[in-house]
Amino acid sequence: MDNSFEQVEDQNIKKCRFLTACIDYYLSSHKKQSLYSLEKKTGIHYSSLRRIVNNSSKPTVETAIKLLNSLGEDENLKKYLDTFHPEVAGLMGEQFSHNSEYEYISKKAKDYFTNPSYYLILNLASTTSGTTAKEITYHIGDIGLERLSHLIEEGLIIEGTKGRYFGATSSYKLPFSDTKKRVKLALDYYRLEEAGSTNNWLSFQTESLNEDGLKAMKELSRKHFNERKDQIYNNPMYRGSIKHYSACVSSTFLPYTENEGVQ
């Protein structure tokens, strides 16, 4: 048998085993999910998923990216591309370098950060002034104190002095799939009736751009906004007790263009 064929076959088996380990971890953490339900979540046909877990597939890079992104496996996606598709990893390096100075939340803990029941408490605590039992009960009621105690037991919140509570990790990042959930949760706290005030502002604009324009907007949104934001957030002169959040969002408006069809 041709050695090159054996090498390709062995490489495909390694790819399948890598992807299967990620699938198994997701299913073990989500007891109500199955390989059938992953078809809808990932957009990958069940038969293709079945071939992967049976080590009989030849996974394309597109399939791997779609699968691992859907499962929230950003770290493993980078490892997968570095190992099996280094040329693609180089092209996607910009995506992986974003917020590279922050650590990923552990797989066990990240579920709390996307859980509506714990979302507000963790956000209140993950500030320089922390939060208090009074603040939590004002927003959530007495059930909030039970959730606070649970988060302390899990080591996600630390009790400080003078009855204040702080997030154990002040700077962290989550996979994009989990970040999308947090964006939706954040919208529940956006007070549209106060838009335009000091507390709450909103700016929305659309325009027609080419590829270079999109890249320029991306750099503007990520680099300049984050730099100026951090200058304010990290300045002791501006420290206070008012809880604030900021978000910078940029996206193409429609998936269709006249000249090129679907993007």
Name 166's Cβ contacts closer than 8 Å, sequence gap at least 6: 125, 126, 130, 131, 157, 158, 160
Q: Give pLDDT tens digits for 105-139.
A: 777 788 898 899 999 999 999 998 999 999 999 99
Is the pLDDT reported for residue 163 higher than 90?
Answer: yes
What average pLDDT does range 245-249 have in this prediction?
82
Q: Give pLDDT tens digits for 177-221.
A: 788 888 888 888 888 888 878 888 888 888 888 888 888 887 787
Domain match, 130 and 58 both: no
Give me the CATH number covering residue 56.
1.10.260.40
Contact yes or no for 50/35 (Cβ under 8 A): yes
Is the pLDDT reported for residue 2 higher than 70?
Answer: no
Domain match, 109 and 148 both: yes
Domain match, 29 and 10 both: yes
Domain match, 47 and 73 both: yes
Give me the CATH number covering residue 122.
1.10.10
The CA-based diameter of the chain, rounded to the nearest angstrom, is: 73
Domain boundary among 189, 220, 250: 189
Cα separation values, 204 from 100, 199, 251, 253, Å: 28, 17, 11, 11
The letter for the amino acid at 57 is S
Is the pLDDT reported for residue 242 higher than 80?
Answer: yes
Domain match, 198 and 176 both: no
Domain count, the chain: 3
**Assigned token pair, 24:** 């198994």
In terms of residue numbers, what domain contains 17?
A: 3-97
Cα four-point dihedral sign 111, 114, 119, 123: positive
